[in-house]
Structure 1
């Protein structure tokens, strides 16, 4: 197995563990079902005497067949692993430390903590071109064929689960779960964007050689140089353009103050970057 593949599966396992923790310890005790197969499993556990981890596994097996058909073998293969890990981690939690009561006494706090943790885990799994199964698979299908972003796709796929929570738990709990349904889509998109967002930095400096050398030597990034002329001074200038991760930009920003106190800098947010030194297609 390739080193990159092993790394991907490690991230998938880590992501599903975070999802399982958020769902089982924060959402299950409050009967909050903000969508997803995990949410549907919470609802169904009120009607059948089967552990949530097993309900989750059975439902996911059905949808995995759909995933294989529409998304291909690679996605399906990774998702089989993530579904196994999710059900496994929930089973371990049910066995070792059962969730007998909510973590906090505030239902909204439990909802927010559960959603943020599960969304964080989901974004890690999605970035490995996998899914935790269930309605995530439907969201991926909508993303591929209808070009909906993943967060919106999740919201569309989870309508049935949210409505079933209203009928099962009543208006109060159902309403909180519906808010969680909306929040989940927003937070998933936020975390997914956080993995790919970069900064495009445009620099105009009289010490452009020092600036370029610092970017090469310390940040190990490339630059593009444009020849320009000042409109007021008519002086020849070099405009340096580079793409940096956020932390790299802050390192450069601090150094620019020492290289050239009069430097002119423009910073733009870039949603995605593909190519040498960044993500591959």
Structure 2
């Protein structure tokens, strides 16, 4: 129960960031950078009496109904909460904290900050194994009927929305919107990798037994032992390998420096670890 509460709290923080990025930076500049939010910005141009948040809510409900009919019930509660919650957040901003004018007069600055804030929020949502629906659903429908890969389908749906933005708001705005789609993908990837990244540490030391005990008893992490032979000395050496968090690596490095400052340490970034002591495989 505690874990579920934490997940939904993080999702809520994520959709608030996405909503703020869209409403305060993208909407005032008509930057329809893909997604249901982008489509809502385009439609709002022609039907200004309907707020962007309400348009997103209607479209997400329609998309979910279509998805359940066409694809099946492959959408979890967290995704439904995220997509409808995002629509609600933007409606809340429109209702109680309406934007009067763009944050700055520089469209590029608005695009960059809107995408950065929104991308961080999307990364947080995706890290909780949820999504904000929208074009994800459109992409799956395109994949089902036209057999185009999900990734290409997602890019296609976002591209069509930015194309619509170009026709509606002008070629320059459309190009900025397309740039936003590209940047958004990179930001989300970096946030996801940055949160889940761990350190794979390989150690060769004369104090291997002490280091092994420290990792197992102080850091509470597992250690794998290998036997290796040095090509120059032909001596047999015991090699320790462990996967730990970035914070734990700092502690381990300081400990090794104290017990054996001649130890050999090799460190690699690992972008995702599943299994005992980390995120369980059954969480996906």
Fold match (TM-score > 0.5) = yes
Deviations 1:189-245 (A, max 9, x none): 222222332221110011112211222233221110112222222323110000122
After TM superposition, give the deviation of residue 87 of structure 1 in Å.
1.7
Give the TM-score taking structure 1 as reference length. Answer: 0.90
CA–CA separation in structure 1 for the residues paired with 2:99 and 2:198 = 40
How far off is 1:272 after superposition? 2.1
Show the 5 A alignment for 1:26-65: 26-48=25-47, 49-65=49-65
Q: Which residue of structure 2 aligns with residue 215 of structure 1?
A: 215
Partner of 1:199: 199
2:60·2:84 contact (CA, 8 Å) conserved in 1? no
C-alpha distance in structure 2 between counterparts of 1:78 and 1:275, whole Å: 22
Distance 1:36 1:218, change over 3 A: same
- Which residue is equivalent to 1:6? 5
Which residue is equivalent to 1:101? 101
Structure 1 Cα separation of the partners of residues 236 and 62 of structure 2: 65
Give the whole-Å Cα distance in 2 for the aligned partners of 1:7 and 1:137. 26
| 1:152-200 C-alpha deviation (Å, 9 max, x unpaired) | 6643330111000000110111111111111111211222222332221
1:103-127 C-alpha deviation (Å, 9 max, x unpaired): 1222111111111111111122122
Q: Partners of 1:143 and 1:9 in 2: how far apart?
A: 29
- Local SS of the residue matching 1:227: strand
Report matched runs for 1:127-142 at 5 Å: 127-138=127-138
Q: Give the whole-Å Cα distance in 2 for the aligned partners of 1:68 and 1:163.
A: 28
8 Å contact from structure 1 (residues 75, 129) kept in 2: no
Cα distance in 2 between the residues matched to 1:51 and 1:180: 22
- Does the C-alpha gap of structure 1 residues 100 and 190 become closer, same or farther in structure 2, counting only changes over 3 Å? same
* Post-superposition offset of 1:140: 6.8
**Offset, 1:98:** 0.6
Moved more, 76-85 or 13-22: 76-85
The answer to whether the Cα contact below 8 Å between 2:24 and 2:102 also exists between their aligned partners in 1 is yes
Distance 1:237 1:170 in 2: 67
- Report the Cα distance in structure 2 between the residues aligned to 1:154 and 1:269, rounded to whole angstroms: 29
Using a 3 Å threshold, how does the CA distance of structure 1 residues 263 and 66 change in structure 2: closer, same or farther?
farther
Partner of 1:166: 166
Q: Secondary structure at the match of 2:75?
A: helix
**Taking structure 2 as the reference length, what is the TM-score of the superposition?**
0.89
In the alignment of these two chains, the number of paired residues is 278
> 2:202, 2:267 within 8 Å by CA — same for their partners in 1?
yes
Instruction: Measure, in 1, the Cα distance between the counterparts of 2:224 and 2:100.
Output: 58
User: Is the contact between residue 40 and residue 55 of structure 2 (CA under 8 Å) also seen in structure 1?
Assistant: yes
Shift of 1:270: 2.0
**C-alpha distance in structure 1 between counterparts of 2:32 and 2:124, whole Å:** 21
